[in-house]
Structure 1
Amino acid sequence: MPRPARMDEALPANQNSGLGRGRQDADGACLLQVQPAQAYAGNVSPELACQWWQAGQAVLIDVRSDAEREWVGFVPGAVALAWKQWPGMDMNPQFDEALKAVVPTGGKAVMLCRSGVRSIAAAKRATELGLEAYNILEGFEGDPDAEARRGTRGGWRFRGLPWRQN
């Protein structure tokens, strides 16, 4: 599938979440708004998360494993703080303390993972720790396409937001 020429031609990821065509949700609401969630502050589009982060209004926390960031790509300036570590995907025992050290009191965190699943768990945990935490919908790579490949149906990278690869 060729990369869309315009942002509003992009296919949405997380189709089960009710996101609609263009960059609006199923009710036609702009995706530059927070979508409600249970047990954490809400879900945000990659674009809104990037706006907050670049404006200094939120700390961008990349909860993917070190291996994922190394092999697939990373966001320069994001805090690399794995929720689970590869291989074995064991919980990161330093997650809580490290998160509290990088998100200032009263600040907010936006959580990024591969597809927007682990970041929900991380946002819930951050909320339990007293932080204002959001999940970034679509994650870094988005949902898999018909050939089970990621990166063609949404995500931080697909949306043209800042990232690099080693």
Structure 2
Amino acid sequence: MTSPAAPVLPPLQSATGYAGDVSPEQAWAWVQSGEAELVDVRSDAERAWVGFVPGAHALAWKQWPGMAVNPGFDSGVQALGASGKKLVLLCRSGVRSIAAAQRATELGVQAYNILEGFEGDPDGQAHRGTLGGWRVRSLPWQQN
């Protein structure tokens, strides 16, 4: 009897100012294997209204309303990175998580951006959640 083949994951994409970009599937594989911690850098409001990944660390990069940089981000990301594990950062579309990964890297943490984010890019009707993203790829998530 043969064992099922492991899923083929896309290679890392290089980046400037942080460790790299990874697909949602690669990020989840690292989390499942214990290599990485998943950090959701969306605002508290986004996680509450749109959905979240169970077990992810909630550490907003910018906080609603006003979208000002979270003054607790630096200490929070340093604490999460103290274990030496990779941090994979998730936002709505994979844009804020780049800035958060760059800041984490400046602070000495190995941080990766998750491509497409939680909701992906907007479609032709400007709706998110249909073109890529964590949810569309059927990775674990739930909604309150």
Same fold (TM over 0.5): yes
Q: Note if contact 1:74-1:163 (Cα within 8 Å) is conserved in structure 2.
A: yes
1:54 & 1:32 partners in 2: Cα distance?
A: 17
Deviates more, 1:73-82 or 1:95-104: 95-104
1:105 & 1:161 partners in 2: Cα distance?
A: 25
Residue 65 (structure 2) pairs with residue 81 (structure 1): no
1:71 & 1:33 partners in 2: Cα distance?
A: 32
Equivalence for 1:32:
10
1:143-158 equivalent positions in 2, closer than 5 A: 143-158=121-136
Unaligned 5+ segments in structure 1 are 1-29
Deviates more, 1:156-165 or 1:101-110: 101-110
Find the partner of 1:63 among 16, 41, 44.
41
Unaligned 5+ segments in structure 2 are 1-7
Find the partner of 1:107 among 69, 78, 85.
85
1:31 shift after superposition: 4.9
2:83 & 2:34 partners in 1: Cα distance?
A: 14
1:104 & 1:51 partners in 2: Cα distance?
A: 21
Equivalence for 2:112:
134
Identity %: 69
Runs of 4+ in 1 over 6 A off after TM superposition: none
2:82 & 2:142 partners in 1: Cα distance?
A: 26
1:100 & 1:132 partners in 2: Cα distance?
A: 10
Equivalence for 2:5:
none
